[in-house]
Amino acid sequence: MINKGASIISRSFLIVFFSILYGINESYSQLLVGARVGGGVSWVKHETDLNKDEFTSKPVLAYNVGLATAIKVRNRFFLQTDILYARKGKYIEGVDDPNLENKASYHYLSVPIIYRVDFKGAISDLDFKWYVGAGPIINYWMSGKGTLKSSELDENDIDVLDYGLEFNYDPDLPEDMLYIVEPNRFQFGLLFSAGTVFEPLPNNYIVVEARLELGHSYLADGQGEFPDVLGYVDDLRVRSKSLQLSVSYLFDTQISKRKKGKSNYKK
Distances 35 to 42, 84, 126, 242 between C-alpha atoms, Å: 22, 10, 24, 20
Report d(CA 199, CA 253) in Å as an integer.
Answer: 15
Q: Are strands 30-46 and 55-58 parallel, antiparallel or unpaired?
A: unpaired
Model pTM above 0.85: no
pLDDT of residue 265: 39
SS3 of the chain: helix, strand, coil, percent, to 5: 15, 60, 25
Report d(CA 256, CA 205) in Å as an integer.
Answer: 17
Q: Are strands 161-166 and 177-180 parallel, antiparallel or unpaired?
A: parallel
pLDDT of residue 20: 53
**Helix, strand, or coil here: 7?**
helix
| Predicted confidence pLDDT, tens digits, the chain (267 residues) | 344 544 555 555 555 555 555 555 445 568 999 999 999 999 998 876 556 677 888 999 999 999 999 999 888 899 999 999 999 999 999 888 888 999 999 999 999 999 999 998 877 777 789 999 999 999 999 999 999 999 888 888 889 999 999 998 777 778 788 999 999 999 999 999 999 999 889 999 999 999 999 999 999 998 888 876 677 888 899 999 999 999 999 999 875 555 555 444 343
Half-sphere exposure (CA, 13 Å, Cβ side) for 46? 18
pLDDT of residue 175: 79
Identify the structural domains of the chain with CATH numbers, from first to last.
Answer: 4-263 (2.40.160.20)
pLDDT of residue 3: 47
CA angle, 252 then 253 then 259, to 5°: 120
> CB–CB of 254/242 below 8 Å?
no
104 burial (CB, 10 Å; 0-12 / 13-18 / 19+) is buried
Q: Show the DSSP H helices in the chain as ranges.
A: 4-27, 49-54, 151-155, 255-263
